[in-house]
Amino acid sequence: SYTSDAAAVTVPNYLRAISFPAPTLTYTYDGNEHTLLVPGEGYTVSGDTKATDAGDYTVTIKPRTGLTWSDGTEAEKTYKWSIRAADPARKFFTITPPDARTPYDGNVKSVNVALNSPYTGCGDITVEYKYSTTDLGSQEAVSAADVKNVGYYSYAIDIAGGKNFNSGKLEGGIFQITKADQSALNITSKNALPYGQSMTLTAEGGTTQNAIVWQLVDENGAAIESSEFASLENGVLTALK
């Protein structure tokens, strides 16, 4: 007879290897939601997997039970990713200036600028104006409250910058405030004026009655500097004969 001691045999625990994901780690803000990783075959994902605003984010991935990374390790891996702030550009904004030739009406004219949807976080928007009466080559800065007089105006748009946008300037444009057309001028007068009597000439319309210069003219429309028939002073007409 004989005896035999059975030998103990250890079977290795072979783990299936999976590759590391290789996501894009840097984006630029565009108003859209970005997703870094979704749970793939063989691993789980936790952390900041989705983001829209500019900033720095972190996600962690870990092999599922029974799996390993392609380098033989099983530890979780951390990815740092970011969305960078965008530089200001006209495509992000709606810019509404006055008409290229806008008649004077005494009111302030302005360039309206609005950040388009769904964009956010650009900071304060300021329109800067420059003015000249004729020559656009020699303009001077003017406050927004003074953009109302006849002349030429150029403008630029300053973006202060915020969470999602860097600071910067947008190229603007040019517009002109032109002289206004006067409304019809109607003069009230008598057809005949007896000797020694006076009448005050009145008018309606025009830019302002104070701008009217009263003058005696003959039947041909020529100015009469002095007359023995009538005198005219400050809009008061007096019959002398």
**Is the whole-model pTM more than 0.75?**
no
Structural contact between residues 159 and 125, judged by C-beta atoms closer than 8 angstroms:
yes
Structural contact between residues 21 and 71, judged by C-beta atoms closer than 8 angstroms:
no
Side-chain half-sphere CA neighbours of 141 within 13 A: 4
The C-alpha atoms of residue 181 and residue 173 are separated, in whole angstroms, by 25
Tell me the three state secondary structure of residue 6.
coil
Q: What is the pLDDT of residue 241?
A: 65
Going by C-alpha positions, the residue among 19, 18, 36 that lies closest to residue 27 is: 36
Going by C-alpha positions, the residue among 204, 165, 159 that lies closest to residue 182 is: 204
Going by C-alpha positions, the residue among 116, 106, 127, 121 that lies closest to residue 53 is: 121
Q: What is the pLDDT of residue 3?
A: 55
Those residues with Cβ within 8 angstroms of residue 150's Cβ, 6 or more apart along the chain or in another chain: 104, 133, 177, 178, 179
**pLDDT band at 219; cut points 50, 70, 90:** confident
**pLDDT band at 11; cut points 50, 70, 90:** very low
Q: Over the stretch 164-209, which tens digit does the pLDDT of each residue have? A: 999 999 999 999 999 988 777 667 766 777 877 787 777 776 665 4
Q: Over the stretch 125-170, which tens digit does the pLDDT of each residue have? A: 999 999 999 876 689 999 999 999 999 999 999 999 999 999 999 9
Q: Quick check: 58 pLDDT over 70?
A: yes
Q: Quick check: 85 pLDDT over 60?
A: yes
What token pair was written down for 157? 């748009």
Q: Over the stretch 69-81, which tens digit does the pLDDT of each residue have? A: 999 999 999 999 9
Is the N-terminal amide bond of 98 cis, ω within 30° of 0?
A: no
Q: What is the pLDDT of residue 227?
A: 77
Going by C-alpha positions, the residue among 167, 166, 23, 22 that lies closest to residue 84 is: 166
